[in-house]
Structure 1
Amino acid sequence: MNSMHLLPNTDEEIMDTHDEDIIITTREGKIIKVTHISGEHYGMSPSELLGKSVLDLQAQGIFSPAITPEVVNKRKKIVTVQMTPSGRKVLITGIPLFNEKREVEFVISYSYELSELIVMKEYLQDLETEMSKVKEELAHLRDQHIQIDGSIMESQSSAYAIKTALKVARIDASVVIQGEHGVGKTSLAKFIHSQSRQREGAFIEVNCSTIPDAIIETAFTGRPDSNSQGYLSLASGGSLVLKEIDQLSLASQSILFHLLNNQTNTRIIAVSETPLDEIVNQGKFRKDLFYILHIASIYLKPLRERPEDLEKAISLYLQELNEKYQYKKKLADDVYIHLLQLEWKGNFRELKNVMERLVIGSETNIITLQDLPLQYQPSEGEQIGIELDGQTLPHILEFVEKKVMLNTQKRYKTTTEMAHALGISQPSVVRKLKKYSSAPLGDEIE
């Protein structure tokens, strides 16, 4: 755009309808309009800029150089680099605004710090490289039947999650998968895709937290000037997984809402560690975007609340690691029980990491408590002596739960503190203490 015909209101004001640094001056150089972020590059507030002359600011070394005089003289759009008082470089564009006599009446300028533009350029280059790789792999992806892997789903709560996932897979509805880091959200998203009518289409994962606000639209729609495709085009006819959707800024959420509101050919699977309804109530997530995404919802409990999955994962990881390193290692009974009662805040990823450290680090084929990394070793009062032979899993888990409850009771003064530490409700703590205080610990397992 080389020229504009516009006569804005000449009253001095701070415009709050833009997220860019925009300044409007008269042809004489008086600043009459600014946005709420104007002046950040120069160490001044918007109100301090209003009414000032760009020529005076140039003389003071604040605008170096001022762009208004050059735009007025050349009567066309000018792009130049300014040096700010702090030594940073700013790319500034000035555009003339003409009156009816074709005279320059006003000059509108907008600026970006060069470091921001460099980051944006590098991100776009990386994005195009990533897109080209994804396109090359799409043919292979369409021929694959994606299995649910990376997590174990055998507990009652996991079975319910899978049942919900199968229902969602049969319809073309958006779904939100929520749960802590490492509980298997991405694996469940792949499972939904593999069971859906879009299974032959692309399965594209996007980490929303890594996309700068300035190029959120380009990332999803592509760059028309280079014919590059965005995420929505690549995932057309398939599934688009929006990981860490809760990390998007409100500005990016607004853009994403308008993009998703107009598309019908791609299943959207949103993945979040934070319950979206909570951050909607906090004003940190747009309601309109929430309603588009939240057609169906699946919550994956943490591993510490899925004892059957935890037991299966320990056995499976040990088997896989023995095969990987050609070992024949086993867990001592007390190690096995101790692993069952740990919190595993990192869920499957943390468990697999600890299991691999145990298999590699143990000196003998029997892994003992001493082989555990120091932060995972039990204190003397927490160590459990138990023989597993002939015991059913529910019996073992009940024994472990009782041990955990009684150990926790020794550490904390109130049931409220116990509930917070264990991640359960206070009434649950009261019920469990009542249950387990009625018989000696030794009565549970012979």
Structure 2
Amino acid sequence: MYDDMLEEELNKIIETSNNNILITDQDGIILYSNPKLWEIYGMKSDSYIGTSVYQLESEGLLAPSINAIVLKEKKAKRIMQETKTGHVVMSTGYPIFNKEGHLVRVISYGQDQTEILQLQDQFEQLQRKVKGYQTEVEDLREKELDYHYLIARSNETKHILKTIHNVSKTDATILLLGPSGVGKSTFARAVHDQSNRKKEPFIEVNCSTIPESLFESEIFGYEPGSFTGANKQGRQGLIEQADSGTLFLDEIGELPLAMQAKLLKVLQEKKIKRIGGKKENHINFRLVAATNQDLKEMVSQGRFRLDLFYRLNVIPIQIPALHERKEDIPLLIQHYLEKTNDKYQKYKKIHPSTYEVLTHYHWPGNIRELENLIERLILTIEEPIIFPEHLPQSITGQVDPPEDSTFLAIEQECEENFDLKKTLENVERQLIAKAWKKCKTTYEMAEHLGISQPTVIYKLKKYKKYL
């Protein structure tokens, strides 16, 4: 009676356990098992009691059998199995000895690792993507067209760099157009660094920061005693400082009309005369200008000289906003992460899912906003890895939903469903469907998804009705 009760309790414990349990005797005969165990292997749960694990192993149903291995080696063992149903199982077996030291039982536990491995695969794919970005940054640094401050992955930016490369050896005037913060001064520096003047001065003037009353003296310089408060030795103007080099006039739309006329004369005659001076000096410089304003509209409004506009508009280069060249964003993030870590002796990293969020943010402040954000995160976040939850609400609340984002697809699934298995299956199905539309062959799909070609075929059969 007591033995029957003990037997019944043992069966109930095994049956209701969350673990997948298999118990055999010293000959490998199955005495007890958990019904859930057989589901992983695609087998019926009530037909294997009394069967030898050696027989199941020979039939390929348990290949290999952890219980058989423990019986042979007489010590605890752990192995990974791949079942015919496509599951990956981690099996751990333990020997049980009687008082005489004879092995009398083997108990094993099987843990289905399939879902965990799928999550790991997705995470590794994101890591490979980030590693690819890092590699591209290094490659770009070694190329003739690209410097440490120029990062290009998008076709738009590559086209700009190609144009700069083609015209930099000439003295043609370049007009850089684009919204604030897109890096116009960086591209101006690239023009200088690739030109024949690269060993000469690069003088940058922000026309919006110099008061109109001081503009002429700053730009053209002055002779001693020209006006009250002037330096007794006189002063060289910014245009003179750029002699033989490059003069970069940023925000040229802010240039006062009176100064526009004088600048035009300098461009036409290549001569300059200081305030209070009588002598005109020949000057040789290459002009690069930039603005975030519509100069044509300013001309029609009478706020910008038409003749100066034509002088500047020799080679106009339009620099798009950052959100229009999303491919550059991960590279820029990595660049400023390394730069800021090095500056403050930090070792912060950015999680792949954070890259996804930042890539699909609108970036109204463009590269300047991105650089400032990275510096703020590195200095204010205590954790070694920066996750999406560390980002300001102003960013996470304005993320455009991408067409092909694993991260956002998972987030959406999680909001709608708390079943892990179902969520993973739905996300996997979406990825397979998108790859099926995008790729021409199963081999191309395998490379795109980061899995094997046989796995692609298996997944296509699994999700056939959704394709």
Give the TM-score taking structure 2 as reference length. 0.49
**C-alpha distance 177-440 of structure 1, shift in aligned 2 (>3 A):** same
Q: Give the match for residue 163 of structure 1.
A: 162
Q: Give the match for residue 203 of structure 1.
A: 202
User: In structure 1, which of residues 251, 276, 291 is the aligned counterpart of residue 258 of structure 2?
Assistant: 251
1:310 has 2:315 as partner: no
2:356, 2:407 within 8 Å by CA — same for their partners in 1? no
Alignment of 1:371-382 (within 5 A): 371-378=390-397
CA distance in 2, matches of 1:280, 1:401: 48
Query: What amino acid maps onto 1:362 in structure 2?
Result: I
User: In structure 1, which of residues 263, 284, 291 is the aligned counterpart of residue 310 of structure 2?
Assistant: 291
1:193, 1:199 within 8 Å by CA — same for their partners in 2? yes
User: Cα deviation per residue 1:9-58 (whole Å; 9 max; x = unaligned)?
Assistant: xxxxxxxxxxxxxxxxxxxxxxxxxxxxxxxxxxxxxxxxxxxxxxxxxx
1:178, 1:298 within 8 Å by CA — same for their partners in 2? yes
User: In structure 1, which of residues 363, 375, 388 is the aligned counterpart of residue 382 of structure 2?
Assistant: 363
1:217, 1:255 within 8 Å by CA — same for their partners in 2? no
Q: Give the match for residue 217 of structure 1.
A: 216
Give SS of 1:218's match.
helix
Give SS of 1:206's match.
strand
Q: Give the match for residue 392 of structure 1.
A: none
Query: What amino acid maps onto 2:204 in structure 1?
Result: E
Post-superposition offset of 1:215:
4.3
Alignment of 1:162-201 (within 5 A): 162-201=161-200
Query: What amino acid maps onto 2:165 in structure 1?
Result: L
User: In structure 1, which of residues 210, 226, 233 is the aligned counterpart of residue 240 of structure 2?
Assistant: 233
**C-alpha distance 401-351 of structure 1, shift in aligned 2 (>3 A):** farther
CA distance in 2, matches of 1:288, 1:207: 21
CA distance in 1, matches of 2:337, 2:210: 38
Query: What amino acid maps onto 1:220 in structure 2?
Result: I
CA distance in 1, matches of 2:311, 2:212: 20
**C-alpha distance 374-258 of structure 1, shift in aligned 2 (>3 A):** same
Post-superposition offset of 1:266:
1.0
1:332, 1:366 within 8 Å by CA — same for their partners in 2? yes
Post-superposition offset of 1:268:
0.8
Post-superposition offset of 1:278:
3.3
Alignment of 1:25-424 (within 5 A): 148-225=147-224, 226-263=233-270, 265-378=284-397, 398-400=403-405
User: Cα deviation per residue 1:252-287 (whole Å; 9 max; x = unaligned)?
Assistant: 222322232221611111111123233223332111
**C-alpha distance 329-188 of structure 1, shift in aligned 2 (>3 A):** same
CA distance in 2, matches of 1:161, 1:152: 11
Post-superposition offset of 1:362:
2.6
Please list every run of 5 or more consecutive structure 1 residues that lacks an aligned counterpart in the other structure: 1-144, 385-396, 408-438
2:361, 2:400 within 8 Å by CA — same for their partners in 1? no
Post-superposition offset of 1:245:
0.3
2:362, 2:400 within 8 Å by CA — same for their partners in 1? no
1:151, 1:183 within 8 Å by CA — same for their partners in 2? no
Give SS of 1:240's match.
strand
User: Cα deviation per residue 1:49-106 (whole Å; 9 max; x = unaligned)?
Assistant: xxxxxxxxxxxxxxxxxxxxxxxxxxxxxxxxxxxxxxxxxxxxxxxxxxxxxxxxxx
**C-alpha distance 321-201 of structure 1, shift in aligned 2 (>3 A):** closer
Query: What amino acid maps onto 2:379 in structure 1?
Result: I
CA distance in 2, matches of 1:184, 1:401: 30
Post-superposition offset of 1:291:
1.3
CA distance in 2, matches of 1:183, 1:279: 21
Post-superposition offset of 1:177:
1.0
CA distance in 1, matches of 2:210, 2:328: 34
User: Cα deviation per residue 1:344-372 (whole Å; 9 max; x = unaligned)?
Assistant: 11111211211222223333223222211
CA distance in 1, matches of 2:407, 2:344: 36
Highest CA radius of gyration, 1 or 2? Answer: 2
1:209, 1:244 within 8 Å by CA — same for their partners in 2? yes
CA distance in 1, matches of 2:220, 2:173: 19
Identity %: 36
Query: What amino acid maps onto 1:370 in structure 2?
Result: E
**C-alpha distance 383-231 of structure 1, shift in aligned 2 (>3 A):** closer
1:240, 1:268 within 8 Å by CA — same for their partners in 2? yes
CA distance in 1, matches of 2:246, 2:176: 14
Query: What amino acid maps onto 1:371 in structure 2?
Result: H
**C-alpha distance 198-321 of structure 1, shift in aligned 2 (>3 A):** closer
> Which portions of structure 1, spanning 4 or more consecutive aligned residues, are displaced by more than 6 angstroms?
401-404, 439-442
**C-alpha distance 210-322 of structure 1, shift in aligned 2 (>3 A):** closer
CA distance in 2, matches of 1:294, 1:151: 23
1:178, 1:273 within 8 Å by CA — same for their partners in 2? yes
CA distance in 2, matches of 1:283, 1:187: 30
Q: Give the number of equivalent residue pairs.
A: 255
CA distance in 2, matches of 1:281, 1:195: 35
Give SS of 1:271's match.
strand
**C-alpha distance 285-220 of structure 1, shift in aligned 2 (>3 A):** same
2:222, 2:234 within 8 Å by CA — same for their partners in 1? yes
2:173, 2:288 within 8 Å by CA — same for their partners in 1? yes
1:334, 1:383 within 8 Å by CA — same for their partners in 2? no
CA distance in 2, matches of 1:238, 1:178: 22
Give SS of 2:205's match.
strand
Post-superposition offset of 1:324:
3.9
CA distance in 2, matches of 1:222, 1:294: 26
Coordinate RMSD, CA, aligned: 3.3
2:360, 2:400 within 8 Å by CA — same for their partners in 1? no
CA distance in 1, matches of 2:182, 2:346: 28
**C-alpha distance 175-343 of structure 1, shift in aligned 2 (>3 A):** same
**C-alpha distance 325-209 of structure 1, shift in aligned 2 (>3 A):** closer
